[in-house]
Amino acid sequence: MSSIIECIPNFSEGRRPEVIEAIAEAIKSVDDIQLLNYSSDQSHNRSVFTFIGAPESVKEAAFKGAKKAAELIDMTKHRGEHPRMGAVDVIPFVPVKNITMQECVNLTKELGERIARELSIPVFLYEESATRPERRNLADIRRGEFEGMAEKIKDPAWAPDFGKAEIHPTAGVVAVGARMPLIAYNVNLSTSDINIARNIAKIIRESSGGLKCVKAIGVMLEDRNLAQVSINMTNYEKTSLYRVFELIRTEARRYGVHIVGSEIVGLTPMNALIDVAKFYLQLEGFDDKKQVLENYLL
């Protein structure tokens, strides 16, 4: 059985199509890589690529993408709404099939070592690959962004895991790490009051005492005039989609508000949805591995 990894690198370029295409070409130039999609955000000035393949191929494609970004993106000229610290900002590896998290961690370390050595970009290991607890969270590593990183990296507490304590002058620094699949999940409320979405987001997110592995903010869906709880689920095995959905439903009741719909942005592993079905159908003794037909085809 072959092994499959998913890689979702983020690049600090969302406006120049020729740069985005050049990165896509670099990734696709590696044999056996399936580039599932890539999308750019103008105001964030940022692009997200998603590709899958065998471990060694994914490592090679991630390196080639990083190299191309370092060639074509100058962070001293980059402006955008999304926090960022490097031309290739973050490179997550996600185990998909026949591979453990620990094997993914090892691969990110090999990739990080090579990026530092060949591209002279300092590398921070994050999430499951993190070498210290305070480096698990990407936001903590990125605090200060590209502009503050030249100073920050000289602090011994923020010495990079690979490379010298000196940013690449135009490509900055990069975070590389193995993690669980992330599910981008939004729940739309029957109100145009963004404060209700914000209050609910605060209740459900881990950082303010809510559900484990849930990040959430309240935003406005301007075109539909609806308030939305916008969520990142960082580990659907620890906190399932249905639990988030039901907690939002419950909390919304306080305001006489109900859920008008929800959406998953981008990809989700089938198991995240099968968990939901198991809950609502009150399924007894269901064995995903043996009873879901597709598990015999993967």
Answer for which of 1, 133, 281, 289 binds a copy of itself (CB under 8 A) is 281
Yes or no: say if 40 and 14 are a contact pair by the CB < 8 Å rule. yes
Helix (H, G, I), strand (E, B) or coil at 174: strand
Q: Which is nearest to 185 in space by CA: 159, 211, 209?
A: 211
Tell whether residue 181 is a contact of a copy of itself (CB under 8 A). yes
Tell whether residue 220 is a contact of a copy of itself (CB under 8 A). no
CA distance 129 to 124: 9
Answer for which of 217, 220, 274, 289 binds a copy of itself (CB under 8 A) is 274
Distant-in-sequence, close-in-space partners of 270: CB < 8 Å, separation ≥ 6:
292, 294
Answer for which of 20, 23, 30, 52 binds a copy of itself (CB under 8 A) is 52
Q: Least distance (Å) from a copy of itself to the CB of residue 85? A: 28
Q: Least distance (Å) from a copy of itself to the CB of residue 185? A: 9
Answer for which of 25, 139, 148, 283 binds a copy of itself (CB under 8 A) is 283
Task: Decide: residue 125, CB within 10 A, 0-12 exposed, 13-18 middle, 19+ buried.
Answer: buried
Q: Is 168 a catalytic residue?
A: no
Residue 206 CA from chain centroid, whole number: 17
Tell whether residue 1 is a contact of a copy of itself (CB under 8 A). no
Stretch that binds a copy of itself, among 114-122, 133-141, 156-164, 275-283 (CB under 8 A): 275-283
Tell whether residue 92 is a contact of a copy of itself (CB under 8 A). no
Q: Least distance (Å) from a copy of itself to the CB of residue 182? A: 12
Tell whether residue 242 is a contact of a copy of itself (CB under 8 A). yes
Tell whether residue 35 is a contact of a copy of itself (CB under 8 A). no
- Measured in degrees and rounded to the nearest 5, phi and psi for residue 189 equal -110, 155
Tell whether residue 297 is a contact of a copy of itself (CB under 8 A). yes
Tell whether residue 250 is a contact of a copy of itself (CB under 8 A). no
- Measured in degrees and rounded to the nearest 5, phi and psi for residue 91 equal -130, 95
Q: Least distance (Å) from a copy of itself to the CB of residue 232? A: 16
Tell whether residue 262 is a contact of a copy of itself (CB under 8 A). yes
Tell whether residue 184 is a contact of a copy of itself (CB under 8 A). no
Token pair for 178: 């193995």
**Long-range Cβ contacts of 116-120 (<8 Å, 24+ apart):** 116/160, 116/162, 116/163, 117/162, 117/163, 118/63, 118/67, 119/66, 119/67, 119/70, 119/168, 119/171, 120/163, 120/164, 120/168
x/- map, 95-134, a copy of itself, by CB under 8 A: -xx-------------------------------------
User: Looking at the annotation, which residues are catalytic?
Assistant: 82
